[in-house]
Amino acid sequence: MKKDSVGIVKTKYLEFFSPPHELKLESGEKLGPVHLAYETYGTLNRTKTNAVLVLHALSGDAHAAGYHRSTDKKPGWWDIMIGPGKAFDTHKYYVICSNVMGGCKGSTGPSSINPITKRTYGLSFPIITIKDMVKAQKALMDHLGIKKILTLVGGSMGGMQVLQWTVSYPDMCHSAIPIATAPYLSAQSIAFDEVGRQAIISDPYFKGGNYYKSRKKPSRGLAIARMIGHITYLSEKSMHSKFGRNLQDKAKYSYRFLTDFQVESYLHHQGDSFVKRFDANSYLYISKAMDYFDISQGFSSMNETFARVKAKYLVVSFSSDWLFPPAQSKRIVNALRQNLKFVSYVDVPSSYGHDAFLLESETLTRLIKKFLATVSKEIL
């Protein structure tokens, strides 16, 4: 195991909002009890002022760094950024990452058991939003005794949670790093999400969401949804440089509906591997939460929304990201500047597309280390 790894880690679980104190959701429904799966790396200092909250994207989970077992082939999903000497140096910071409510990796979601019916929720699970996810995370921070978070960071849907945190709980957020994100989804992004959901719902084994006891699951529908999503994560340039029109193990076309091209094989692999670790219903709920997200909801304008924030911001976008293009990050930056808030903005030249927030580790590490060195002086 590498010296800059946090090593073997263990996922922890907490229960909140037990009846009659259920969590009131944005939809008006109530949910409880709520379980959250989370992991921590590093040590919380005496004054509890060195906490970093990492928020994950749609398909992420609480396992952001390290290994669960010494035999694991892969570390956590953001291991390149979390650990000794890395951007989020665990010798300095106490890093926390929880699986979002609605997920399928230990937190309460549609695959959880409904305490009333003693059966899996399925589609009886209530619709949840980004704001609801953040409410549950707030309960986790309260449990840990953290009243001020040094910084909140996340890419894609994780960035949406960062924005919501700074608006919902401005006094708790010292600084914020939203990466490759947006104040709301575009119509195009919502359209891609809906096609993915319809692929799942149309799968003959979906069974109205009640497939958990069935031998066959809606794997094909979920795989297709992942394939559609993965296309949006890459740029045209990165797809061309990776695959071009190269054939897959063939010297010529098959002239049949087989996997002729390398890019086809790649997408099939992404879809097939995804169904082994993710739940189809969770995909429906989390993608819907992203569609509903609009940080200005309840405010008259974006400027009014960000007037209430107190966090210092580092906003990062990537030049080739067409799913969450730089123009969307600039809307956030402009609203912060209109309110005379502290904000740094960097549009990183990259050919990786939306996936750059998982791949451009050297650039992100440099930017984040510099930013944290500045903002941490005021609180540590």
Q: Which residues are catalytic?
A: 156, 321, 354
Question: CB neighbours of 331 closer than 8 A, spacing ≥ 6?
Answer: 182, 183, 302
User: How many angstroms separate the CA atoms of 351 and 180, rounded?
Assistant: 14
Give CA angle at 232 (229, 236), nearest 5°.
Answer: 145
Please count the other Cβ atoms lying within 10 Å of the Cβ belonging to residue 205: 14
Peptide bond into 326 cis (omega under 30): no
User: How many angstroms separate the CA atoms of 197 and 225, rounded?
Assistant: 7
Q: For 118, what's the count of Cα atoms within 13 Å in the CB-facing half-sphere?
A: 0
* DSSP summary character for residue 360: -
Please count the other Cβ atoms lying within 10 Å of the Cβ belonging to residue 257: 6
Helix orientation angle between 187-201 and 280-292, rounded to the nearest 10 degrees: 160
Burial per residue of 299-325, b for 16 or more beta-carbon CB atoms within 10 angstroms, e otherwise: eeebeebbbebebbbbbbbbebbbbbb
Two structure tokens written together for 376: 């941490």
Q: Euclidean distance between the first and final Cα of the chain, in Å?
A: 30
Burial label for 21, CB within 10 Å (0-12, 13-18, 19+), is exposed
Two structure tokens written together for 137: 């995370």
CB 324 within 8 A of CB 181: yes
